Structure 1
Amino acid sequence: MDPLADESEGSPGADAFSPLALVVVGEDDGVVVRRLRAARPDAVVTGLGPVDAATVAHASATAHLVLGIGEVSAGAWCDAVIAEGDEDGLSRFLARAAEVEERRRARRLPPDTPPILESWSPRWAVDAARLGARIAAAFDGVPVRVDHIGSTAVPGLRAKPIIDLQVGVRDLADADAAEQRLGDAGFVNVQRIVPGAPGVSRDNARTGGDPDEWSRRLFASVDARARAIVHVRRVGASNWRYALLFRDWLRADPEARDEYAALKTALASAHRGDRDFDDYARAKDHWFDRAQGEMEAWARVTGWVPGGRGA
């Protein structure tokens, strides 16, 4: 990570980590910046005074956490916004930074949670854009396409508050080459932690054909307050297309969306005592299999093709 204030750091080596990068939007070298530097002498803390949204977006993409102070016009690019003089808010941000840094260096994910659904929030699209920019930056100039997919990308659909992002690459080797930089940015290779979890290295094939069409890489965020799952798939592969088709079909068909919501609600209730959501995920497979025909029929009737602007 390479925030605006320090461009002297080189790229981290195979076993190295860049310093924790914190950005404060709303002051150049004020009280909060000085407090963060005193509390985190190991971190690179950058203060940004009055700047345009593009500058904040760039800083966010190359930082681990961004804190906005007061009325911040580019708050969408901040991980947290607190009022001036908010001591409790600053303490929470420092605690969050400590957790992120500990997990990032340990390559450890936040604790598992049961499948708890929340009402859809427009904030999820904002979070997806901010996290997606950081993921794209970790590919270090390699062309990628980042799309917000899954339930949090479908307005009106209840979902677990976990952002699903699909990264389209020309070859999965691009993801393997970016693994260290993704880890440095706070996105851990899940296969190295729970190789037996469903769908870690290969999606469940829905349409048959070449098994390689369903291969992928899976990463996840170390930040418990911005949980995200990063699905890396080859652009044009069957699983890349499926994720976009499923999202767009549910966006366009309220009846299908509501049917899926009812299933998710019932399964979440049935699995509310689980320590994680693996069995919840497996239990949805039969619905996906049945919905496949309806999705493809919708695609034929509407002329849908993948490759439109990511959302």
Structure 2
Amino acid sequence: MLRVGLTGGIGSGKSTVAGRLAEHGAVLIDADKLAREVVQPGTPGLAAVVEAFGAEVLAPDGSLDRPKLAAVVFNSAEQRERLNGIVHPLVGRRTAEMLASAADDAVVVHDVPLLVEKNYAPMYHLVVVVDADVEERVRRLAETRGMSPQDARARIAAQATVEQRRAVADVWLDNSSTPDRVLAQADALWADRLVPFEANVRLRRWGRYGNPRLYDYNAEWPLQAARLAARIELVTGGLRVDHIGSTAVPGLPAKDIIDLQVTVSSLDQADGFAEPLTAAGFPVRPENTGDRGKETKRYHNCADPGRLANIHLRVEGSEDWRNALLFRDWLRASVEERASYVQLKQGIAKRFASAGDLAEVATAKDAWFDSALPRAQAWAEATGWQP
């Protein structure tokens, strides 16, 4: 099962994307819809809301008068939290029931307006954010909900910012234009990423790596690494996760593959996380358990075909654990050494341009690392560096 978090600000049109993915076969769990269901007349949820906010939030027919309730909670963070404390646990239980009933090969799309605000992003294999220009959102809210421009802007301002949403977005869909454009984006997302990602998770396999082509440094790499790290931290109960390798060195050209190092206390501890990490979209590579053939780590990859990544679980204090952090920080600090390393990488990329196995590429760099290690160690001693 693939769990996809879908979110977007009010008026962004995420429901359009949710509907399209459902048409393709996704199991849609709509948090807003569930929030309405759990406070229907006769439910314990509605009784709890009336007890908290009074009978004046009821309509004449005994149902919840949503505009009246909104007027009570919208301008009060305390009242909003009070309402959320009633509704969210009920929605959570219903969500869990729907997840439990989904097929093993399902792509479950969880439409959650407060995904960013509640820090839910690490719970999903992938997070999709739908966005649109503010002016377009204001226009839509006036047209479809009868909101005044002032009310619409106030609602938008009360939600997560664009920057906060970008920080959690594995996929960003711009819905500022006509619906056909975002629908085309949703179609491509389904076919090119969600379907193969689900199969990879279910079959415990990883995205296949191509040739060692170098890409110019991408400022998105650290953000992508942080999102992967947050998922791993959630699964491992908060173990240290570091972004290492070339994509962690600003300005350094690199293969478009994120490397993360997870610090474990022992290889037995690492083995204990094999199944949880695999279920979270990071399948184990049992044939690759060490550095240069030594039994020094456990090795996982990312199952997401849209974000290749290597996950190295190494024991704290071990030589390879320390060197991974040392080389990253040393290269960050030295322009000259970065230039030397880039020259090596460019030669390797040319030499192995048609290689089908990147293991050969890693071996080709060993001699450079061996010769560079004394220089990195000298830098560490001179600066007082610690891992």
User: TM-score higher than 0.5 here?
Assistant: yes
Q: 272-281 or 61-70: which moved more?
A: 272-281
In the alignment, the residues of structure 1 paired with residue 201 and residue 253 of structure 2 have an alpha-carbon distance, to the nearest angstrom, of 29
TM-score computed with the length of structure 1 as normaliser:
0.82
User: 1:45 corresponds to which letter in structure 2?
Assistant: V
Quick check: which has more Rg, 1 or 2?
Answer: 2
**Alpha-carbon distance in 2 for matches of 1:223, 1:99:** 8
Matched, 1:202 2:290: yes
Counterpart CA distance in 1 for 2:121 and 2:110 is 11
- Looking at structure 2, the residues matched to 270 and 77 of structure 1 have their Cα atoms a distance apart, in angstroms, of 37
Match in the other structure for 1:262: 343
Question: In the alignment, what sits opposite 1:76?
Answer: 167
* Counterpart residue number, 1:227: 308
Structure 1 residues 163-213: Cα deviation after superposition (integer angstroms, max 9, x where no partner) = 00000012222221111111111111112xxx2xxxx212239xxxxx76x
CA deviation vs aligned residue, 1:222-264 (integer Å, no higher than 9, x gap): 1121100000011122111110001000000110011000100
**Match in the other structure for 2:67:** none
Note the alpha carbon deviations across 1:264-307, whole angstroms, 9 max, x for none. 0011001101112121111111100000110000001001011x
Are 1:273 and 2:354 an aligned pair?
Answer: yes
Please say if residues 110 and 224 of structure 1, whose CA atoms lie closer than 8 Å, have aligned partners that are also in contact.
Answer: yes
Distance 1:225 1:145 in 2: 24
Q: Return the offset for 1:34.
A: 2.8
Which of 292, 301, 311 is the equivalent residue of 2:382?
301
1:40 equivalenced with 2:101 (yes/no): no
Alpha-carbon shift at residue 109 of structure 1 (Å): 2.0
Q: For 2:198, which of 75, 81, 101 is the aligned residue?
A: 101
Are 1:115 and 1:276, in contact at CA under 8 Å, matched by a contact in 2?
Answer: no
Look up the equivalent residue of 1:31 and give its one-letter code: T
Task: Structure 2: give runs of 5+ residues left out of the alignment.
Answer: 28-105, 133-161
Gap change, CA 1:54 and 1:169, over 3 Å in 2: farther
| Greater helix proportion | 2
**Cα gap change, 1:35/1:128 in structure 2, threshold over 3 Å: closer, same or farther?**
same
- Note if contact 2:300-2:311 (Cα within 8 Å) is conserved in structure 1: yes
Q: Secondary structure at the match of 2:283?
A: strand
Task: For residue 190 of structure 1, give the secondary structure of its aligned residue in structure 2.
Answer: coil
Distance, in Å, in 2 between the alignment partners of 1:82 and 1:112 is 26
- Residues 131 and 103 (structure 1 numbering): CA distance in 2 closer, same or farther, change over 3 Å? same
* Equivalences for residues 119-134 of structure 1 within 5 A: 119-134=216-231
Q: Which amino acid is the alignment partner of residue 110 of structure 1?
A: G
Q: 1:27 to 1:53 in 2, by over 3 A?
A: closer
Residue range with higher mean Cα deviation, 271-280 or 295-304: 271-280
Identity of aligned residues (%): 37
Q: For the residues of structure 1 that align with 2:131 and 2:321, how far apart are their CA atoms? A: 40
Query: Does the CA-based 8 Å contact 2:21-2:187 persist in structure 1?
Result: no
Q: What corresponds to 2:371 in structure 1?
A: 290
2:8 counterpart of 1:26: yes
- The answer to whether structure 1 residue 176 and structure 2 residue 260 are counterparts is no
Partners of 2:2 and 2:115 in 1: CA distance: 24
Q: How many residues align?
A: 269
The corresponding residue for 1:64 is 125
Whole-Å Cα distance in 2 between the matches of residues 217 and 132 of structure 1?
A: 16
Superposition RMSD in Å:
1.8
- CA distance in structure 2 between the aligned counterparts of 1:272 and 1:130, rounded to whole angstroms: 30
Question: Structure 1: 5+ residue runs without aligned partners?
Answer: 1-18, 206-210, 307-311
The answer on whether the counterparts of 2:130 and 2:173 sit within 8 Å (CA) in structure 1 is yes
Match of 1:237 among 313, 318, 322: 318
